[in-house]
Amino acid sequence: MLNWNNNIKQFIAFLKIEKGLSENSIFAYQNDVDKLMQYSLARQKTPDTLTTDDLKLFLTELYDLGLSARSQARIISGIKQFFQFLVYEDAIYDDPSYSLELPKIGRKLPEVLSVEEIDALIAQIDLSKKEGQRNKAILETLYSCGLRVSELVDLKFSQLHFDEGFIRVIGKGNKERLVPVGDSVEQEIKRYTEGFRAETPQIKGNEDYVFLNRRGVPLTRVMIFTIIKQLSQQLGWKKNISPHTFRHSFATHLLEGGANLRAIQDMLGHESITTTEIYTHLDQSFLRDAIISFHPRNKRN
């Protein structure tokens, strides 16, 4: 009878020495097999006693937990690698994962708002409330700069360079990028800093953060989600609106306006152009008009 811990250690060594995988890839594989081990130990199953039906039940539990198709596919891939290794080592003869199928991973298109819908959402903000101007500045910044919600809550005054016309954003992996900024963002942030922001308590260590709550503490990601959700509910929308919706809309509207995909990639801080290509889900009539207008074969004298 095989031993989970010993087999997993051997599998990790195989991935490291024979396959030469990176530490991140090895960690992901180990994490996937660990999930299967915990499930199996609770049912007193060892690697050599697991059947295909056992694995299907395990995957059903993952599905019931709400894991995305992409996450499920990654775990199945890790499990398949593990059992292929056991067969390769003659530890087992039949691979129970052989017939497991990867779930289809559709490329989920992001929710996008029209310019009119964004204006309507911002118009719902009650500017008579103290935090109203702050919330308006938040939405303007999200939409006009295409920031991630984490980049927004971490935004500091030292990153705002309005005289030069840009803001310096600290993105994933501490990578910096410069994003052009228009007059609307500058005006809304200045109104906010002259009002609500000036009245908040000055807590040591928080002075440089742009967006604070009433206690002088930087806003959290959850708070930004809540602000947007409440505004959406006031309009009676059934759409699933989040801070990322503004980022998607920013990219899509730039593309529709004729911006280069590379330029959009730089402004969003995407490592790969393939990530940015999701924003090419444009209206077919727009694509047709663009092709008719700009393709040299369609140009008429």
The answer to whether residues 12 and 56 touch, using CB atoms and an 8 Å cutoff, is no
Token digits of residue 51: 């059947």
Strand order of the sheet with strand 166-170? Answer: 160-161, 166-170, 176-180
Establish whether 29 is a catalytic residue: no
Query: 152 by DSSP, 3-state: which?
Result: helix
**Would residue 239 show up in a list of annotated catalytic residues for this protein?**
no
Catalytic residue among 74, 247, 248, 253: 247
Enumerate the β-bridge partners of residue 179.
167
β-strand partners of 161 = 166
Quick one: 91 exposed, middle or buried, by C-beta within 10 A (0-12, 13-18, 19+)? middle
* SS3 at position 160: strand
Report long-range pairs for 235-242 (Cβ below 8 Å, ≥24 apart). Answer: 235/120, 235/121, 235/124, 239/111, 240/111, 241/111, 241/113, 241/121, 242/111, 242/149
Residues 148, 197, 248, 253: which is the catalytic one?
A: 148
Sign of the alpha-carbon dihedral angle for 205, 211, 215, 221? negative
Task: Dihedral sign for Cα 246, 252, 257, 259, please.
Answer: positive
Q: SS3 of 50, please?
A: coil
* Length of the chain counted residue by residue: 301
Residue 270 annotated as catalytic: yes
**Whether residue 297 lies in the annotated active site:** no
The dihedrals phi and psi of 225, each to the nearest 5 degrees, come to -60, -45
Q: Check if 204 is active-site.
A: no
Q: Is 74 a catalytic residue?
A: no
Catalytic residue among 172, 214, 239, 288: 172
Q: Residues 177, 221, 244, 281: which is the catalytic one? A: 244
Task: Say how far apart CA 96 and CA 275 lie, in whole Å.
Answer: 35
- 168 strand-pairing partners: 178
The catalytic residues are 148, 172, 244, 247, 270, 279
